[in-house]
Amino acid sequence: MFAVPSFVWATGNTFGAQSTVSPSLVKLARDGVPWFLTVLVVTGFLKLFGALVGIGLTRPRGLWTSRLMVFCGGAAATLLTWHGGLFVVHGVLVETGAASVEPDLAALTGWYLYLWGPWFIVGGLAFAGATALYVRHRDDDRRRKLLLYCAVGTLGALLLSVASTVTGIG
């Protein structure tokens, strides 16, 4: 379900976006800007891939698949929690007057603070919990190897998140 809006907006239909997403992003979708539509489609497929990872974390797998599951589970937990946390922190700063936004974005602050931010954080915590449970049910030797893959996925996602935030991309 989480992927549906990305695919709908990639068609240029901005249903549900006007009051909940930045007007500049809505305009890019409505105008059919090719690079942005590509971003929306890729985002939709990444969300579908995330669903497969979530499902994959519910059952024991072979060693290679287990490594991929915990790598992606750790990365997803980090990316989602970081992204949601940024929304919440920014929303709190705007709501308390410590930061300001352009007038056309002010109405969106509540959506990001009370809906989108917490939604991403809950998703990140769900991935963290599923990954932890997946690793926990392995023997000691296999658990250590899986924890290494989880740590690499987590650190890689954290570096990607920090870099995109610092450069203004994310």
| pLDDT tens by residue, the chain, 170 residues | 889 989 998 998 888 776 677 788 888 889 999 999 999 999 999 999 999 999 999 988 788 889 999 999 999 999 999 999 999 999 999 999 999 888 877 888 888 899 989 999 999 999 999 999 999 988 878 888 899 999 999 999 999 888 888 887 65
Residue for token pair 């705007």: 94
CA nearest to 51, candidates 4, 3, 115: 3
pLDDT at 24: 83
> How long a stretch of residues is the chain?
170
Q: What type of residue is 120?
A: F
Q: Examine the domain organization and report whether 48 and 89 are in the same domain.
A: no
Q: How many whole angstroms from its chain centre is CA 15? A: 21
State the pLDDT at residue 166. Answer: 84
Residue-number span of the structural domain to which 6 is assigned = 1-56
> Residue 169: its pLDDT value, please?
65
Same domain for 5 and 49, yes or no, is yes
Element (H, E) at 86: helix 63-95
CB atoms within 10 A of CB 24: 11
Say whether both 135 and 75 belong to one domain.
yes
Same domain, 68 and 105: yes
Please indicate, yes or no, whether residues 158 and 135 belong to a single structural domain of this protein.
yes
In this structure, which amino acid lies at residue 95? E
**Same domain, yes or no, for 124 and 154?**
yes
What's the domain count of the chain?
A: 2
Same domain, 84 and 133: yes
Q: Do residues 137 and 163 both lie within one domain?
A: yes
The confidence score (pLDDT) of residue 120 equals 94
Give the H or E element holding residue 63. Answer: helix 63-95
The pLDDT, as a whole number, for residue 26 is 86
**pLDDT computed for residue 71 by the predictor:** 95
Give the integer Cα–Cα distance in Å for 56 and 131.
Answer: 10
Same domain, 154 and 73: yes
Q: Is the dihedral of CA 6, 152, 126, 120 positive or negative?
A: negative
